[in-house]
Amino acid sequence: MAFSPEHVIDIAEAVRAARHDGAIWSVNSEQMNVNLIRLRTGATIPAHVNAELDVLLAVYEGEGELIIDGETIALGPGVAVVVPRNAQRSLRCGRGPLVFLSAHRQRGGLMPQ
């Protein structure tokens, strides 16, 4: 995969322009999936297990809670967490918008099957 201008994002501008929850920018290369995700206050990602891969979350803006196998991690700007595969995880936006990058090795789809 060759470099493309679509691989560059102004995060602040993308957040200002976003009008929906979920992925507001994505790059899916041969080796990686990277998504910029925005959630409004009170929005959640329900508990699920991803048996395929580890996922890196890096928070840009907002506050929330990430629960991994029953352990609560406070999320805020500058916090990064590696969520291991096979761990149950859920996420809740406390003060939004909660904006974070999600990155992992390539696989199909944003949520596990």
- pLDDT above 90: residue 4: no
- Give the confidence band of 1 by pLDDT, cuts at 50, 70, 90: low
Separation of alpha carbons 41 and 92, rounded Å:
8
Sign of the four-CA dihedral 50, 54, 60, 63: positive
Q: Is 111 inside any structural domain? A: no
Let me know the angle formed at the C-alpha of 20 by 16 and 22, rounded to the nearest 5 degrees: 105
7 CB-side CA count, 13 A: 8
Q: Is 110 inside any structural domain? A: no
- Computed over every residue of the chain, the mean pLDDT equals 92
The tally of domains found in the chain comes to 1
Q: Is 86 inside any structural domain? A: yes
Output the pLDDT for position 110.
53
Q: Is 15 inside any structural domain? A: yes
Q: Is 9 inside any structural domain? A: yes
Q: Which helix (H) or strand (E) holds 16?
A: helix 11-17
pLDDT in tens, 73-91: 999 999 999 999 999 999 9
Portion of the chain with pLDDT greater than 70, in percent: 94
Q: Is 112 inside any structural domain? A: no
Structure pTM? 0.87
pLDDT in tens, 20-75: 999 999 998 888 999 999 999 999 999 999 898 999 999 999 999 999 999 999 99
Question: Cβ distance 43 to 95 under 8 Å?
Answer: no
Q: Is 67 inside any structural domain? A: yes
Q: Is 28 inside any structural domain? A: yes
CATH number at residue 77: 2.60.120.10
Domain interval for residue 75: 5-105
